[in-house]
Amino acid sequence: MSSSCSYQLAGDHGYLHLHLPDRKVNVLCAELLDGLEKLMSEIEQAPPKLLAIVSDKDACFIAGADLQEIAKLKSREDFLQAAERGQRLFNRLAQLPSTTIALIDGVCLGGGLELALACDIRWVSDSAKTQLGLPEVNLGFIPGWGGTQRLPRQIGILKALPMILAGKSIDGRRALKTGLAERCFASENFLNRCLEELKNIPKKSHRKNNWQTRLMSTSLGLQFLANRARKDVMKRSKGHYPAPLKAIEVISKGLKLPMADALQMERQSFAELASSAVSQQLVRLFHLGENNKRSGGPGPGESFANLSHSAVLGAGVMGGGIAALLSLKGSHVRMKDINWQGISSGYSAAARVYQERVKRKSMSRQEMDQAMLRIGGCLDFSGFKDSQLVIEAVLEKMEVKQKVLLECESHLHEKSIICTNTSALSVSTMASVLNRPERFCGLHFFNPVHRMPLVEVISHPGSDPQVIQQLMHWVRKWGKTPVLVRDVPGFLVNRILLPYMVEAANMVEEGWNPISIDRIMEHFGMPMGPFMLADEVGLDVGAKVAHILREGYGPRMEASSLLDRMVEHKLLGRKGDGGFYTEHKKQKILNPAFKKLHGGNFREPDANEVIHRLLFIMINEACRCLEEGVVDSAANLDLAMIMGTGYPPFRGGPCATADTMGLPMILHKLEGWSSMHPERYRPANLLKQIVAEGKTLTAPGGQEL
Amino acid sequence: MSEAVAIIDGYRTPFAKAGTELKDLQADHLGAAICRELLARSPLQRQDIDEVIFGNVIQPAHAANIARVIALKCGLPVSIPACTVHRNCASGMEAITTAAERILSGRLTCALAGGAESMSNAPLLFGPAMTDFFGKLMRAKSAFEKLKILSSFRLSYLKPVITLQLGLTDPVCGMSMGITAENVARDFNITRLQQDQWALESHQRAAAAVKAGRLQPEIIPLSAGSRFDKIIGEDNSIRAEQNLASLQKLRPYFDPLCGTVTVGNACPVTDGAAAVSLCSSAHAHEKQLKPLGWLRDWAVAGLDGSRMGLGPVHATAILLDRNGWSMNDFDLIEINEAFAAQFLGCEIAFASDDYAKAKLNRSVKVGAIDRDRVNVNGGAIAIGHPVGATGARLVITILHELKRRGLQRGLATLCIGGGQGMALALEVNS
């Protein structure tokens, strides 16, 4: 079968099979759309009594639109055309006199669900892989093939609105409950069962909405609902993401319009959003994430071991958090510390993570007890003999780490992998004291472990590539994003983030108002401003990393003396008695102790000036990292910064931001500043080179540096 | 005399009075935690374990065949089977001997065995009146009928059946365990003072053992509390500061009028678990394992339930006869202290020709026990008695102590509610 779809008639039953060639899944690419359009004309000639749409792919109905093709679209006009084409096709499907039914066993997302919604009836399987949803808002646009109109008309606005706004999918059983599907069958013999049931052609369903939904579908109800949803979205997105807001508008207005008008409004909004810069960054980010997930899989004939037994050294906040993660993913974890008090704090840290899940109902109390039971605290190395992986998270002191790692190594199986979770210390220096340095590398988790998706996997010259591959695989299995980086001081994320923090401190020392700087950066999209972040992390931790970087990179990483003075005066941030800020009547105010230390008198900075100074120094350092091969691509660099520091996703990461702002302007600014501080601002060679060649750091949708 | 079975390793959780530090952990959690630690420390590989056998008395409703629940939760593969055994207070011992029997018969090579009990979590039940009321209400058809039945409700229906109390009562003779101890005290003329003195002795011995760190090698600390924010590392019912005067002040609990048994000279209701790993001697030799000790032989006996406390005398008599030993062949002895009266009764019966003639069908006494060799680190009156786990605890305790003292053979024996006794002979060297 080389065609993308085929049509068979058996009596008064027509079967439309989807089987896009050379792909694991069906996507609504040009080829499949061509095929469907052709078949639709054929079917319209002689419509059968019943038309069933079936996918021949394993565990997939239709995964959605083809994102590769979307990435090639540029202008608003392109997107408008794409939307029109799909809408026209689905309208034809909806207007067929036949009873149309989608038989869904597997992924049914985006355009796939929009197609299914154009059918009269949907039957689903109960497989965990059967997922129905409209995830478009996550990519910065809204469903454009009728989804915003047909979903609320099918299941009621009360259920449709959150589904579209969160972009989350639901499984077969939930689909049945919400009324998105009419029947749900066992996945194992799904098709046979459907065919059996289809002998009697089912009636088109006319759902009766309940009184709440009917109430909310009145003009007043819609207005109320839209207002509430808008407030909710603004709270979460701070207005940086236009897609959900647009979705609310299109859904609430569309319900009162005739279908044709509603669809026109939908595709106009879709085209506007999909061609926006925000959407392009989010689509790129989605691709980066997918590439990260897909790359580094086992080669043919290879397979990675399951992590069934692991161990953590040091049961502090990090150790406890890592143990909680490993146990949650089914591994039995030994958790060693030097006293029971330490182990107790590790257990508490893990229990807190689980309790949060129990509260959210994503875990039952029994599951929590079992996960806790998989963690075994110990003072000795008991049970380490079985560990496939040991993650060390003890005190950040080179001598201590070397001693602990060496001692631990002697208790391990020779195939065990041993890792250090350090935020700045040299992995190579640790490796130098070990007997099996090839089975050792860095695994840098970010705090809090259960929230931060990034894990830096740090190789050193002696590490075994297979060990690295195995680790990348495990990190992905834990639901985290691994980024492979070279062993340089600060690794990737801290090395780029620290200059930003230091520059912010420099600005305050020059007399600019820290509250305004924080506000400007939050407005830019950062989850919190640099000073708020410094308080969260702890100024002592920040100062320590700053010194390590100063040692490694020389005067360009010279930390502001303000930080050291604050640490001296015990202004450590949130964990102490406040840092830049302190709490007063549950409100964050500027810490009087910090004001006294600084001297007071703040000037109001210019927003552009703040953004330029804080970002360009970061971008410059990012260029150096690319130049030195700390990370393999601008793509992974951007991904790491977004996943590891909360760099605003809609800005696409430092490299993408740099390209958007214009590299020549950035270079010009840096050169200007470097006349005053040559060490601090000297532009990276790579930056100069790229500007000279007229290139960019990133290339959306295509091959990246 | 049959071949001995190797006991590779043995550990227990700290024992905690019911309703205190371990109350948030169910019996299966306690058992799984100790098995997890046993496996972490064991030279045996997980896949070498052929079966898990656990004793438990209360049998929690959420964990039918608790041994299987423990086996899965402690991290053993699903392919390893598990069964639960029940011989009341000797369930932990029964688990060990069941494993040993299967090893000796060649059906198993290695096994985990032990006992787990959470007496804190013994449930309260609705009584028959309430059950009947619910049943009628469910069957009622019309609203009027329902109303009629609802109006028949009496507050007294809510009186719960305390299963713990029920479990500690002999279902045949109807006496509570405390009353059987009173019987023994009457039979042998054991005074209140003698009982309190022995209770004091038990606390003092246990406290001294804790102070010297002698119990530490057998205990593995545990994370507990509803938020897992506490580490429990020690038994919490041992009272170093216990004195005779305060014991004497307590009122008799079971027979308030003319009794002698108080909560002070009885063992407390306790939570805890204990487990050992076992293997055949061939396997131990082949893998050059260094076992903690060996199970040489064992015996079980039945007797009048109203005097169940004397069970150890009956079981030990059989054990001695079968092996041609005398009491002097044991370097150390652990006799479980359910009650001071019961322990003292055993002591007298062991040394009594009359008792031997009357009850054991033998011409001379089983043999006197030397107080310097019995319960040297205190007994259940101080340490506690999580019924399903104690049997395993005695085996572990005596082997650790024999090893520490450089001695060879020990006797661990226990009285069993319902009228039985069980006795195990344990050795350090094969």
- The DSSP secondary structure of A568-607, one letter per residue, reads HTT--BTTTTBSSEEEETTEEEE-HHHHHHHTS--BPPPH
Q: State residue A205's pLDDT score.
A: 66
Taking one residue from A and the other from B, the number of pairs with CB-CB distance under 8 angstroms is: 55
pLDDT at A472 exceeding the cut of 60? yes
The residues pairing with B17 across neighbouring beta strands, listed in sequence order, are B270
pLDDT at A701 exceeding the cut of 50? no
Contact A458, A441 (CB under 8 A): yes
- The answer to whether B229 contacts A340, with C-beta atoms less than 8 Å apart, is no
In the set A309, A444, A450, A460, the catalytic residue is A444
Kindly list the catalytic residues of B. 89, 385, 415
> How many CB atoms within 10 Å of residue A62?
28
Residue A70: band (very low, low, confident or very high) from pLDDT cuts 50, 70, 90: confident
Contact B222, B13 (CB under 8 A): yes
What single string gives the DSSP state of each residue in B92-119? HHHHHHHHHHHHHTTS-SEEEEEEEEEG
Tokens representing B258? 């003319």
Q: Report the candidate in A507, A510, A517, A571 with the shortest Cα–Cα distance to residue A539.
A: A571
Distance (Å) from the alpha carbon of A451 to chain B's nearest alpha carbon? 20
- The answer to whether A373 contacts B74, with C-beta atoms less than 8 Å apart, is yes
What is the rounded CA–CA span in Å between residue B425 and residue A151?
75
3-state secondary structure of A111: helix
The angle, 0 to 180 degrees and rounded to 10, between the axes of the packed helices A514-524 and A493-509 is 140
Tens-place pLDDT, residues A364-415:
999 999 999 999 999 999 999 999 999 999 999 999 999 999 999 999 999 9
Distance (Å) from the alpha carbon of A124 to chain B's nearest alpha carbon? 32
Q: Which residues of A touch B277 (CB under 8 A)?
A: none
What is the rounded CA–CA span in Å between residue A647 and residue A412?
39
- Search chain A and give the residue with CA nearest B225: A348
**DSSP secondary-structure letter at B89?**
B
Report the pLDDT averaged over residues A261-265: 96
Tokens representing A187? 């996945």
B43 at A interface, C-beta within 8 A: no
Report the pLDDT averaged over residues A658-663: 95
Cβ burial, residue A341 (10 Å; 0-12/13-18/19+): exposed
Q: Which residues of B touch A351 (CB under 8 A)?
A: 227-229
B158 at A interface, C-beta within 8 A: no
Q: Report the candidate in A459, A452, A579, A587 with the shortest Cα–Cα distance to residue A514.
A: A579
Which of B75, B227, B233 lies nearest to residue A374, judging by beta carbons? B75
A373 at B interface, C-beta within 8 A: yes
CA quadruple A545, A547, A548, A553: dihedral, nearest 10: 120
What is the rounded CA–CA span in Å between residue B185 and residue B135?
46
Tokens representing B195? 């009982």
The CA distances from residue B31 to A452, B113, B387, B392, in Å, are: 35, 10, 13, 12
Q: Report the candidate in A5, A1, A53 with the shortest Cα–Cα distance to residue A29.
A: A5
What is the rounded CA–CA span in Å between residue B174 and residue B304?
12
pLDDT at A296 exceeding the cut of 80? no
**DSSP secondary-structure letter at A98?**
S
Q: Which residues of A touch B230 (CB under 8 A)?
A: 344
Q: State residue A2's pLDDT score.
A: 63
A382 at B interface, C-beta within 8 A: yes
Tokens representing A4? 């993308």
pLDDT (tens digit, 0 to 9) for every residue of chain B, 430 residues total? 468 999 999 999 999 999 999 999 999 999 999 999 999 999 999 999 999 999 999 999 999 999 999 999 999 999 999 999 999 999 999 999 999 999 999 999 999 999 999 999 999 888 889 999 999 999 988 899 999 999 989 999 988 888 888 889 999 999 999 999 999 999 999 999 999 999 999 999 999 999 999 999 999 999 999 999 999 999 999 999 999 999 999 999 999 999 999 999 999 999 999 999 999 999 999 999 999 999 999 999 999 999 999 999 999 999 999 999 999 999 999 999 999 999 999 999 999 999 999 999 999 999 999 999 999 999 999 999 999 999 999 999 999 999 999 999 999 999 999 999 999 999 999 8
Amino acid at position A97, single letter: P
Backbone φ and ψ for A634, nearest 5 degrees, come out as -60, -30
**DSSP secondary-structure letter at B23?**
T
What is the rounded CA–CA span in Å between residue B370 and residue A530?
75
- Matching residue, tokens 């050169």: A671
Which of A334, A355, A383 lies nearest to residue B227, judging by beta carbons? A355
Sign of the alpha-carbon torsion through B231, B235, B240, B245: positive
Tokens representing B345? 């009764």
Report the pLDDT averaged over residues A408-426: 94
Contacting residues for B288 by C-beta, under 8 A, at least 6 apart? none
- Search chain A and give the residue with CA nearest B62: A366
Tokens representing A112? 């796939």
Please state the ipTM of this predicted complex.
Answer: 0.93
- The answer to whether A340 contacts B233, with C-beta atoms less than 8 Å apart, is yes
What is the residue-averaged pLDDT of chain A? 93
- Matching residue, tokens 């120094």: A617
Q: State residue A207's pLDDT score.
A: 67
B230 at A interface, C-beta within 8 A: yes
- Search chain A and give the residue with CA nearest B233: A340
Radius of gyration of chain B (CA): 22
On the question of a cis peptide bond just before residue A448, with omega within 30 degrees of 0, the verdict is: yes
Tens-place pLDDT, residues A284-294:
999 899 888 88
What is the rounded CA–CA span in Å between residue A655 and residue A668?
17
β A107-109/A131-133 pair status: parallel
What is the rounded CA–CA span in Å between residue A113 and residue A61?
9
pLDDT at A704 exceeding the cut of 60? no
First to last CA, chain A: 38
- The answer to whether B228 contacts A372, with C-beta atoms less than 8 Å apart, is yes
Residue A705: band (very low, low, confident or very high) from pLDDT cuts 50, 70, 90: very low
The number of helices, as runs of H, and strands, as runs of E, in chain B is 15, 14
A350 at B interface, C-beta within 8 A: yes
Contact B14, B234 (CB under 8 A): yes
B229 at A interface, C-beta within 8 A: yes
Which of B29, B39, B74 lies nearest to residue A369, judging by beta carbons? B29
What is the rounded CA–CA span in Å between residue B375 and residue B390?
13
What is the rounded CA–CA span in Å between residue A627 and residue A622?
9
pLDDT at A700 exceeding the cut of 70? no
Tokens representing A321? 């958090």
With b for 16 or more beta-carbon neighbours within 10 A and e for fewer, the B346-368 pattern comes to bbbbbbbeebbeebbeeeebbbe
Contact A250, A124 (CB under 8 A): no
- The answer to whether A351 contacts B228, with C-beta atoms less than 8 Å apart, is yes
B21 at A interface, C-beta within 8 A: no
Which of A344, A350, A355 lies nearest to residue B230, judging by beta carbons? A344
Residue A562: band (very low, low, confident or very high) from pLDDT cuts 50, 70, 90: confident
Q: State residue A702's pLDDT score.
A: 46
Percent of chain A with pLDDT over 70: 98
Tokens representing B274? 């204990």
Amino acid at position A244, single letter: P
A320 at B interface, C-beta within 8 A: no
- The answer to whether A382 contacts B41, with C-beta atoms less than 8 Å apart, is yes
Task: Considering only residues A592 and B424, tell me which one the structure prediction assigns the higher pLDDT.
Answer: B424
The residues pairing with A18 across neighbouring beta strands, listed in sequence order, are A5, A55
Lowest mean pLDDT among A146-155, A383-392, A577-586: A577-586
What is the rounded CA–CA span in Å between residue A423 and residue B106?
55
Tokens representing B204? 């003092």
**DSSP secondary-structure letter at A303?**
-
- Search chain A and give the residue with CA nearest B220: A378
Q: Which residues of B touch A375 (CB under 8 A)?
A: 223
pLDDT at A167 exceeding the cut of 80? yes
Q: State residue A217's pLDDT score.
A: 80
What is the rounded CA–CA span in Å between residue A206 and residue A120?
9
pLDDT at A143 exceeding the cut of 80? yes
Q: Which residues of A touch B227 (CB under 8 A)?
A: 348, 351-352, 355
Enumerate the H helices of A607-696 as residue ranges: 607-628, 634-645, 654-661, 663-674, 678-681, 685-693
pLDDT at A131 exceeding the cut of 50? yes
Lowest mean pLDDT among A5-19, A64-78, A254-268, A675-689: A64-78
Contact A625, A499 (CB under 8 A): no
3-state secondary structure of A49: coil
What is the rounded CA–CA span in Å between residue A118 and residue A48?
17
Lowest mean pLDDT among A273-277, A486-490, A568-572: A568-572
- Mutation for B interface: A340, A347, A381, most B CBs within 10 A: A347
Distance (Å) from the alpha carbon of A443 to chain B's nearest alpha carbon? 25
Distance (Å) from the alpha carbon of B226 to chain A's nearest alpha carbon? 9
Q: Does the pTM of the predicted model rise above 0.80?
A: yes
Which contiguous run of DSSP H or E holds residue A493? helix A493-509
Q: State residue A209's pLDDT score.
A: 74
- Mutation for A interface: B25, B39, B216, B223, most A CBs within 10 A: B223
pLDDT at A223 exceeding the cut of 60? yes
CA quadruple B254, B257, B259, B263: dihedral, nearest 10: 40
Tens-place pLDDT, residues A72-129:
888 999 999 999 999 999 999 999 999 999 999 999 999 999 999 999 999 999 999 9
What is the rounded CA–CA span in Å between residue B411 and residue B392?
13
Q: State residue A237's pLDDT score.
A: 85
- The answer to whether A377 contacts B231, with C-beta atoms less than 8 Å apart, is yes
